[in-house]
Structures are given as C-alpha cells and as structure tokens.
Amino acid sequence: MFQPLSEQKEATIYQYRLVRKIPFTAGFIRYYYSSGVLLVISLLIADPLPAVISLVTGVFLIPLLHAAIIRMALLRRRSLESTSRRWQWRRSLPLPGYMPVLPIELSVFQRLQLHTLWIGICSIAALYPWTDITLLTGYLMIHLWLQAPLVYALIRLHNEKRDGVLKLPFEEPFFSYYHR
C-alpha cells in the first residue's frame, strides 16, 4: 500500500524535510565582496592594461565557460537534470551564473561543481602558451571568485547524505538541503 518516503522514487520536494539551511551571512557577503575588490586592485597594480582586458572579458567569458562545462556534464549523464528549463542564468551575487532553478540532487550538484572548478582551471591553464600571464591570472581570479560560494556550500554539505536534494532559491542568497 503505502511506501516509506525513503523508498519512493517520485517523491516531491513537499514530502522532504528540511535538514539544513546554509545562509550567506552579512559577514560572508562582506568578505566575498572585499576579497573580490582586493583581487581586482592587486591585479590592476601589477599590470594595468592586461588586467583591465582580462577583467572585462573574463566577466563575460568565465560564466559562459561554466555554463558550457555544466551543459556538457549534464548531457553526458543524459539525466532529467540536463533539460534546459531546469537551469537558468542568475545575475544576483553571491551566486551568479548558470544555476539550477528546480531542486537538484546533492550528488549531482557536487559532481557538477567539482567538474566546473577543475575543468575551468585546466581550460584557463591551457591558454598559457598563447596569452599574457596577467590575463591568465585575471581569468583564474574571476573563475575562483565565482566558484567560492559554491565551494563553501559544498564544504558545509560534505557530511550530509548524498541522496538528498539541494534547492537554491532565486530570491534569497542561501542553500536549502532536504532529505527524504
């Protein structure tokens, strides 16, 4: 007749219970913004012209690189999460970029973000023979700065069960972790 919730394959988010909410506190937001400003200032002091070029182009290219890596990883997996209506561009900080709109399994989100982190670093490093070191440093700083809140959330959720569900509301800067 009735199955326990842990055995249901098609359970909705309303049947899950909230285990943990990871807010981005005002202190974290201040630290995040101030670290970004300090990185930009240090890059501009080191070499102004390539720094400006890397910052202007990197703000547009690095989120596109993140989206391409996520789309390729999802299409390779051929899962339900790979449909484009489940993912949207988000402009608000601290979570800008290509993010899931609907709840996503924690294991899928962890895998995608680690893929994005390492493949992004390798893609930027692959440009080393052809570009200026300041340009590469700027791209790497933008990449790591955009990934920092996601890595923070992954570290906070490291000990949780991997079959839970992660929800990223578009209105508010926090993660919600649910489990059956």
Kindly report the pTM of this predicted structure: 0.85
In a domain, residue 105? The reply is yes
Looking at residue 5, its pLDDT comes to 45
84 HSE (CA, 13 A, CB side): 4
Looking at residue 103, its pLDDT comes to 84
Range of the domain at 39: 27-179
- Residue 73's closest CA among 101, 108, 123? 108
Domain count along the chain:
1
Looking at residue 9, its pLDDT comes to 56
In a domain, residue 89? The reply is yes
Helices 48-77 and 133-156 pack at an angle, to 10 degrees, of 50
In a domain, residue 84? The reply is yes
> Could you give the C-alpha distances from 55 to 19, 60, 62, 137, 178, in angstroms and in order?
38, 9, 10, 10, 37
Looking at residue 100, its pLDDT comes to 86
Are the C-beta atoms of 160 and 21 separated by less than 8 Å?
no
In a domain, residue 68? The reply is yes
In a domain, residue 95? The reply is yes
In a domain, residue 39? The reply is yes
B/e letters for 15-39, b = 16+ CB within 10 Å, e = fewer, are ebeeeeebebeeebeeebeeebeeb
Looking at residue 74, its pLDDT comes to 84
Looking at residue 180, its pLDDT comes to 73
In a domain, residue 65? The reply is yes
The residues of the chain scoring below 70 in pLDDT are 1-14, 78-85
Looking at residue 91, its pLDDT comes to 82
DSSP structure string for the chain? -PPPGGG-SS--GGGSEEEEEEE--HHHHHHHHHHHHHHHHHHHHH-HHHHHHHHHHHHHHHHHHHHHHHHHHHHHHT-GGGSGGGEEEE-STTS-EEEESS-EEHHHHHHHHHHHHHHHHHHHHTTTTTS-HHHHHHHHHHHHHHHHHHHHHHHHTTTS-TTSEEE--SSSSEEEEEE-
In a domain, residue 43? The reply is yes
